[in-house]
Structure 1
Amino acid sequence: MYKLCDHLSDDEIKKLKAKKKEKMSRRVLLELMGVRRDTYKRVRGAIRRK
Structure 2
Amino acid sequence: MADEESAAPRREAAMPRQVCVDLFATLGCGLEAGFPAPMGSAATGVLVFAKEL
TM over 0.5: no
The structure number with the bigger radius of gyration is: 1
TM-score, normalised to structure 2's length?
0.31
Higher helix share: 1
TM-score, normalised to structure 1's length?
0.32
